[in-house]
Structure 1
Amino acid sequence: MSDAQGPAPSTNTVAVPVTWRTRFSPRPGLARLRESWIAVAQIVVAATAAYVLAQVLLGHQTPMIAATVSISSLGLARDARPRRVVETVIGMLTGILLAEGLRLLFGTGWWQLAVALGVTMLVARFLSPAPHFAIAAAIQAAIAMILPVGPLPFSRLLDGLFGGVMAVVMTALLPRNPLAAVLREARVFFEGFDAAAARLVTALRRGDRLRAERGLEKARALQGPLDAWRASLESGRAIARVSPFLRSRRTELERQARILQAMDLAMRNLRVVGRRIVYVTDLGRELPVPGEAMAEIARAASLVGASLDDIAQEPVAREALLAIARRLDPAAMLPGASIGEQALVSALRPLVVDLLVATGLPPAEARAALPRL
């Protein structure tokens, strides 16, 4: 009989060969190049322009600080909002100013460097709570103390000012693509949201408390991706406000902000639903009716995620969610069920409202779509 059915599948773990191509794949590096080429262009143009202008207009032979201020102000970090760039520039100019003043008083040497760094960092921490502000000030103070004496006192402050101005100008005239970073972070969040919802659906259909707990863990882990999405979005909106070349992106970024705000609330309500599911699956009994309702909500949430790239998916997601919302009456959906099961259906209601708001429906209309209790 066993021969007719074929050999039993092997349960042994099979080793997967790892070649040097797998270990040293060029794809991550190429992805970083695609994401960073605009930032690199910003830095190159700003630093070179600041260096040349300091040479031509100020007559400085080696205006190194002009270039270093531009490079440090912009950086390769995704958060290149104008306000942050200006804060970094102010921090560096503070460091240069203090170093030049201390140099006039005490001269140069190892202990003068120590004094300049200590004073600069203490003053910077007093002026700003941002750690990068103090570090930027200290770096420029060290450079100003170590370099040979300039032609005139405080002349390096002008070099730094040129570098800072060019960094701010480049954020507007050669802006980084904010929408690409926002979409990338949003996709990561929705992938996590879908994974958490899928685990909770399986838990209900199988009456599996362990899967419910894992789904709840995944829902709790969504805060990091949401914060990354919010940081990218805030940076993108700030850049779009000052750049004339990003006017066409402002409407889309505002739409993203509306989706993010609604999904923040949806994430919190998904955790509430997850805790309810952990409770109702404790007996190990299958719950197909709330499981199917949760599955429909999960599918609609994935449509909300798809609308980030294709706005035509917004009305599709809205109609799907409205169809679910009209049926979310605990007594009608689960007549005679336990209080715990009906409480689970009640917990689904605010989750659906949040997802409806994410599709662009006003909150009042979203709440009105639910049956009265």
Structure 2
Amino acid sequence: MSTRSSDPVSSVTTAVTAAVTAWVGRAGGRLRDGAWRIGLAAVTATVAWALAQHLLGQPAPIFAPIAAVVCLTDAPGTRGRRALRLLAGVCVGVAVGELATRVTGSGWLQVGAAVAAGMFVVALGSINSLTLLQAGIASLLVVGLASPQSGWTRLFSAVIGGVLALLVSQVLASPSPTRLLVVAARDALRVPADALAEVAAALREGSATRAGAAVEALRGGQGALATFLDTRSTAGSLVTTTLRGRRERARVAELGARLGGIEYVHASSVLLARTVTEALTSGDDTPEHLVRGVEELAAGVRAVAADPGAPDPRADDPAGPRPTHEIADELAATRPGGLADHDAQLAAQLHLLALDVAALVTPAEAAPSPS
């Protein structure tokens, strides 16, 4: 009786522990992802404050660090546009707030009127939420603080913070779009590489459970795929808005075109894993050449995942996987003719997946020769 009564408690404890562990893991991941942005914004805000104090003689130049922080906490590919929108909103807000202070003075009613006026002026040319927000906040601060500083001094303070943020984000600390793309592709490809290895192992063992787990792993890997697609968009923005991006434009275009089929590799891997699961559940034996095909294809995808930036990844040792384009070309020749139903379906899907993998690499004979 005591054992049965303690089971629910143990189950709840295990569930709570798992939930807490998962939350800590997610929180740690968010902190790691945001650490660079937070540190960059904090350092730039400090420099903006000190610079505005020195150049403008302001005891508390709040507009400069505010502009820097708001600009630098966004994703790398949008910081430039964000800085320009912020500067537009702050400039309008400061101008409207200064005018309102000179004409009507300060007070609770004037604060509300200035905020509305600043946002209405911005809305004449743009309804971007950031520009509207900054216009309203700047108007509020100017009227609410009602300090003896001139409007021009406030305006210059905001410009210092925004221009400094532009300099940091677009020139001094702009990320490499090539590196962002390669890292995202590596993470996205590891999912199908590991899952295909599990599918091959399931075929060797005759384990439908293991193959089914590979299907679930592929479904759970959609987050890495979505990150890659977002990163590809970010890299495209960086090559048009940053100096470093312009220098890497050709490389980013080549990688984007070559690695764009990663989502097809994911989809084809899911179909292949499901077909294997169904075949193993029904107790069918899979021909040896198809099992070897899955194994070699898994090795090929893993080779690409290890170095997505290489046009035709190879293993470091002679005993490793063959050049990826050779694996893909050979598997692409696998045809379903003369096979049982499940085997024919598996062969057809293996053929399609091999073609998708082949699109991720550049065959050696097509590589340009050194001049």
TM-score (norm 2): 0.69
Number of the residue aligned with 1:330? 336
Q: After TM superposition, give the deviation of residue 303 of structure 1 in Å.
A: 1.4
Tell me if 1:313 matches 2:313.
Answer: yes
Would you say the 8 A contact 2:71–2:83 is kept in 1?
yes
Q: Aligned to 2:233, what secondary structure does the other structure show?
A: helix
C-alpha distance after superposition, 1:264-315 (max 9, x if no partner) = 2222222232333333333133425433222221111111112325455179
Would you say the 8 A contact 2:106–2:146 is kept in 1?
no
Q: After TM superposition, give the deviation of residue 325 of structure 1 in Å.
A: 1.4
Q: After TM superposition, give the deviation of residue 124 of structure 1 in Å.
A: 8.2
Number of the residue aligned with 1:258? 257
Amino acid at match of 1:345: A
Q: Aligned to 1:176, what secondary structure does the other structure show?
A: coil
Q: After TM superposition, give the deviation of residue 132 of structure 1 in Å.
A: 6.0
Q: Aligned to 2:282, what secondary structure does the other structure show?
A: coil
C-alpha distance after superposition, 1:180-237 (max 9, x if no partner) = 4444333322222222222332333344333333222222223221222333343344
Number of the residue aligned with 1:209? 208
Identify the range of structure 1 (112-121 vs 347-356) with the bigger mean alpha-carbon deviation: 112-121
C-alpha distance after superposition, 1:322-369 (max 9, x if no partner) = 12212x1111xxx3412x3312221222222221111136xxx9xxxx
Alignment of 1:1-373 (within 5 A): 36=36, 40=39, 44-45=43-44, 48=47, 52=51, 56=55, 60-75=58-73, 79=77, 81-90=79-88, 92-93=90-91, 96=94, 108-109=106-107, 140=138, 143-153=141-151, 155-178=153-176, 179-245=178-244, 248-289=247-288, 290-308=290-308, 310-311=310-311, 313=313, 316-326=323-333, 328-331=334-337, 335-338=338-341, 340-360=342-362
Q: Aligned to 2:323, what secondary structure does the other structure show?
A: helix
Residues of 2 paired with 1:80 and 1:252: CA distance? 20
Number of the residue aligned with 2:15? none
Identify the range of structure 1 (141-150 vs 296-305) with the bigger mean alpha-carbon deviation: 141-150
Residues of 1 paired with 2:271 and 2:303: CA distance? 22
Residues of 2 paired with 1:346 and 1:101: CA distance? 72
C-alpha distance after superposition, 1:51-70 (max 9, x if no partner) = 636853x6655432022201
Identify the range of structure 1 (148-157 vs 103-112) with the bigger mean alpha-carbon deviation: 103-112
C-alpha distance after superposition, 1:234-278 (max 9, x if no partner) = 334433444444555334333332243111222222223233333
Residues of 2 paired with 1:266 and 1:321: CA distance? 12
C-alpha distance after superposition, 1:1-53 (max 9, x if no partner) = xxxxxxxxxxxxxxxxxxxxxxxxxxx89x9599739x846763576257636
Residues of 1 paired with 2:58 and 2:136: CA distance? 23
Gap regions ≥5 residues in structure 1:
1-27, 366-373
Residues of 1 paired with 2:261 and 2:123: CA distance? 36
Q: After TM superposition, give the deviation of residue 105 of structure 1 in Å.
A: 7.0
Would you say the 8 A contact 1:209–1:281 is kept in 2?
yes
Would you say the 8 A contact 2:188–2:262 is kept in 1?
no
TM-score (norm 1): 0.69
Residues of 2 paired with 1:360 and 1:43: CA distance? 43
Residues of 2 paired with 1:126 and 1:176: CA distance? 33
Q: Aligned to 1:280, what secondary structure does the other structure show?
A: helix
Q: Aligned to 2:281, what secondary structure does the other structure show?
A: coil
Cα distance 1:247–1:277, how it changes in 2: closer, same or farther (>3 A)?
same
Q: Aligned to 1:235, what secondary structure does the other structure show?
A: helix
Would you say the 8 A contact 1:206–1:286 is kept in 2?
no
Amino acid at match of 2:157: D
* Superposition RMSD in Å: 4.2
Residues of 1 paired with 2:136 and 2:145: CA distance? 14
Gap regions ≥5 residues in structure 2:
1-27, 315-321, 367-371
Residues of 2 paired with 1:117 and 1:213: CA distance? 58
